[in-house]
Structure 1
Amino acid sequence: MNEHEDAVFSAGVARRDVGAAESARAGRSWWDANADEYQADHGDFLGDARFVWGPEGLDEQDAGLLGDVTGRAVLEIGAGAAQCSRSLLARGASPVALDLSYRQLQHSRRIDLGHAVAVPAVQADAGALPFGDSVFDLAFSAYGALPFSPDGAGIMREVYRVLKPGGRWVFSLTHPVRWAFPDDPGPRGLTVRSSYFDTTPYVETDDEGQATYVEHHRTLGMRVREVAGAGFRLVDIVEPEWPEELAQVWGGWSPTRGRLIPGTAIFVCVKDGAPGGA
Structure 2
Amino acid sequence: MTRRGVDDAEARRANRRWWDADADAYQAEHGDFLGDLDFVWCPEGVREADARLLGELTGRRVLELGCGAASCARWLATQGARPVAVDLSAGMLRHAALAADRTGVRVPLAQADALALPFADAAFDTACTAFGAVPFVADSAALMREVHRVLRPGGRWVFSVTHPMRWIFLDDPGVGGLTAVHSYFDRSPYVEQDEHGEATYVEQHRTLGDRIGELVAAGFRLTNLVEPEWPAGHEGIWGQWSPLRGRLFPGTAIFVAEKT
Q: Fold-level match, TM-score > 0.5?
A: yes
Query: Which residue of structure 2 aligns with residue 39 of structure 1?
Result: 27
Say yes or no: does 1:112 pair with 2:100: yes
Quote how far apart the aligned CAs of 1:14 are.
1.6
Query: Which residue of structure 1 aligns with residue 169 of structure 2?
Result: 181
Say yes or no: does 1:92 pair with 2:80: yes
Partner Cα separation in structure 2 for residue 154 and residue 115 of structure 1:
35
Query: Which residue of structure 2 aligns with residue 169 of structure 1?
Result: 157
Partner Cα separation in structure 2 for residue 183 and residue 68 of structure 1:
36
Query: Which residue of structure 2 aligns with residue 59 of structure 1?
Result: 47
Name the SS for the 2:180 alignment partner.
Answer: coil
User: Per-residue displacement from partner, 1:139-175 (whole Å, max 9, x unpaired)?
Assistant: 0010001111111100000000000111000000000
Query: Which residue of structure 2 aligns with residue 125 of structure 1?
Result: 113
Quote how far apart the aligned CAs of 1:245 are.
1.2
Structure 1 outlier segments of 4+, above 2 Å: none
Say yes or no: does 1:192 pair with 2:180: yes
Instruction: Give the gaps of 5 or more residues in structure 2.
Output: none
Partner Cα separation in structure 1 for residue 40 and residue 257 of structure 2:
18
Match among 239, 253, 257 for residue 265 of structure 1: 253
The TM-score, its normalising length taken from structure 1, stands at 0.93
Partner Cα separation in structure 2 for residue 95 and residue 54 of structure 1:
20
Alignment of 1:1-278 (within 5 A): 13-272=1-260
Letter in 2 for 1:207: E
Quote how far apart the aligned CAs of 1:207 are.
1.0
Quote how far apart the aligned CAs of 1:99 are.
0.3
Partner Cα separation in structure 2 for residue 234 and residue 180 of structure 1:
25
Letter in 2 for 1:235: T
Partner Cα separation in structure 2 for residue 88 and residue 14 of structure 1:
38
Count of residue correspondences: 260
User: Per-residue displacement from partner, 1:127-148 (whole Å, max 9, x unpaired)?
Assistant: 1111000010000010001111
Partner Cα separation in structure 2 for residue 15 and residue 190 of structure 1:
20
Q: Percent sequence identity over matched residues?
A: 61
Partner Cα separation in structure 1 for residue 218 and residue 81 of structure 2:
26
Name the SS for the 2:201 alignment partner.
Answer: strand
Quote how far apart the aligned CAs of 1:117 are.
2.1
Partner Cα separation in structure 2 for residue 117 and residue 172 of structure 1:
24
The TM-score, its normalising length taken from structure 2, stands at 0.99
Q: What RMSD over aligned residues (CA atoms) do the two structures have, in Å?
A: 0.6
Name the SS for the 1:41 alignment partner.
Answer: helix
Letter in 1 for 2:227: E
User: Per-residue displacement from partner, 1:163-222 (whole Å, max 9, x unpaired)?
Assistant: 011100000000000000111001111110110100111111111110000011001101
User: Per-residue displacement from partner, 1:23-47 (whole Å, max 9, x unpaired)?
Assistant: 0000000000000000010111000
